[in-house]
Chains A and B, each alone.
Chain A
Amino acid sequence: EDKVVQSPLSLVVHEGDTVTLNCSYEVTNFRSLLWYKQEKKAPTFLFMLTSSGIEKKSGRLSSILDKKELFSILNITATQTGDSAVYLCAVEFRNTDKLIFGTGTRLQVFP
């Protein structure tokens, strides 16, 4: 059965801390892995990863994929209260447009 597992389920940190969110997957016909940030309503796109070992970076956020060990991490450095959200990991199947989402990691950043 195809599945995407995220850990931890929730995380509480103080501003300035660095966090690492994990996403592991077991899917047939893997094509890509995506990270989204969901604050209150619509998930917003962060990264799409297709190749192993190539870090994607956007400001304080970065992500990398390991296709051999079947996982990805999302790093957030110098966290701010505005980073508080649920971070969703999704895996795309080859030959289809479907995404399977993990359960998400709820991040709370306190001042």
Chain B
Amino acid sequence: GAVVSQHPSWVICKSGTSVKIECRSLDFQATTMFWYRQFPKQSLMLMATSNEGSKATYEQGVEKDKFLINHASLTLSTLTVTSAHPEDSSFYICSANKDPRKNIQYFGAGTRLSVL
């Protein structure tokens, strides 16, 4: 397997503030990481693909200026939820692909964001 660490696991913030979530691959390098959003009892919805050294690729309907993604190194990608509002409250999960030849994505433990 492979270890992906996500931090923080839970964050509560006031409306209007920005929140940064970190995703790290601990025992492998990942040129590509993925950010998902999951609503209660629903499946994972891909938000964006994070590419090391270049801009992220966002899925249709995901606001780039709202969800800022930075993939500064081969082991770290960050997702910043800017000016968070209650409707941004959700479970955010990242994943990383250890072997580009086999797209088995390994997931972080997720971050539960609650915006008051």
Residues of A near any B CB (own CB < 8 A): 31-32, 34, 36, 41-45, 48, 88, 90, 92, 97-104, 106
Number of interface residues of B (CB under 8 A): 25
Q: Inside 8 A of A106's CB, which chain B residues have their CB?
A: 41
Q: Inside 8 A of A102's CB, which chain B residues have their CB?
A: 43
Q: Inside 8 A of B93's CB, which chain A residues have their CB?
A: 41-43
CA A93 to CA B79, docked complex, whole Å: 24
Check if B97 sits within 8 Å of A45, measured CB to CB. no
Q: How many inter-chain residue pairs (CB < 8 Å) link A and B?
A: 52
Residues of B near any A CB (own CB < 8 A): 1, 4, 6, 9, 32, 34, 41-46, 49, 93, 97, 100, 102-110
Check if A103 sits within 8 Å of B43, measured CB to CB. yes
Top 10 A-B pairs, shortest CB-CB distance: A42-B107, A41-B109, A101-B43, A101-B44, A42-B109, A103-B43, A41-B110, A43-B107, A92-B103, A104-B43
- Who on chain B is nearest to A106 by CB? B41
